[in-house]
Amino acid sequence: MNTFREFYSDNKDRFFGYLLRRSGDHYLAADTLQESFTRYLERYGKGEFSVSLLFTIGRNLLNDNCRRQRTTVPFLEERHKSECDEESNFLVREESRRVQDALQQLDPDEVKVLSLAVSNGLSYKKIAELTGTSESNIKVKIHRSRLKLKKILHAGEL
């Protein structure tokens, strides 16, 4: 059980960040995080722990939820207040809003590979395993997605 606790501790923060970016809803991401780890432990807890498998379970749970709801849930910034001063909060929210708006202009596949690479720190090889594509294809997709995102963000500054 200690090894699962370590697995949970090592991966919960970046996994939660991934789920939050995918869903846009803090509460849904938190519920999905707990459900993902529970399912992982119930079904695969006896063997070697795999981050790729955990992310796949979480992604599938979010997809199932979207199919049931058939709606998108907007990201509510008021639910995610930090203890910083108001000016810092404003700047962080504004930058976050800009990036979220820019990400919405990308294709869902582009958002998925970017969030796996940048926010979750997964290697190209791990992302390739998760998505079922080649590692070189992932490198190209991430590079093109970054260029597209950069172009969108710079266009918004003008």
What does the pLDDT look like over 62-93, one tens digit per residue? 888 888 876 555 555 555 444 445 666 777 77
Taking the C-alpha atoms of residue 84 and residue 119, their distance in angstroms, rounded to an integer, is 22
Percent of the chain having pLDDT more than 90? 14
97 lies in a domain? Answer: yes
How many folded domains does the chain comprise?
2
Instruction: Please check whether residues 97 and 143 belong to one and the same domain.
Output: yes
Domain that holds residue 118: 86-157
Identity of the highest mean pLDDT range in 62-76, 94-108, 117-131, 132-146:
132-146
78 lies in a domain? Answer: no
Q: What value does the mean pLDDT of the chain take?
A: 81
pLDDT at res. 83: 44
At residue 94, does pLDDT exceed 70? Answer: yes
76 lies in a domain? Answer: no
> Alpha helix (H) ranges present in the chain?
2-23, 26-44, 51-69, 86-104, 108-114, 124-131, 135-157
Q: How many CA atoms lie within 13 A of 28 on its CB side?
A: 22
134 lies in a domain? Answer: yes
In contact, 24 and 72? CB cutoff 8 Å? yes
Question: Has this prediction a pTM greater than 0.75?
Answer: no
CATH of the domain at 121: 1.10.10.10
Instruction: Please check whether residues 57 and 99 belong to one and the same domain.
Output: no
Taking the C-alpha atoms of residue 113 and residue 110, their distance in angstroms, rounded to an integer, is 5
Instruction: Please check whether residues 50 and 93 belong to one and the same domain.
Output: no
The residue with greater pLDDT, 136 or 3, is: 136
Instruction: Please check whether residues 97 and 148 belong to one and the same domain.
Output: yes
Q: pLDDT band for 36, please (50, 70, 90 cuts).
A: very high
pLDDT at res. 104: 84
94 lies in a domain? Answer: yes
Cα-Cα-Cα-Cα dihedral sign, residues 26, 62, 108, 70 = negative
Q: Residue 65: is it exposed, middle or buried by C-beta count within 10 angstroms (0-12/13-18/19+)?
A: middle
Taking the C-alpha atoms of residue 15 and residue 51, their distance in angstroms, rounded to an integer, is 9
Instruction: Please check whether residues 90 and 65 belong to one and the same domain.
Output: no
pLDDT at res. 157: 62
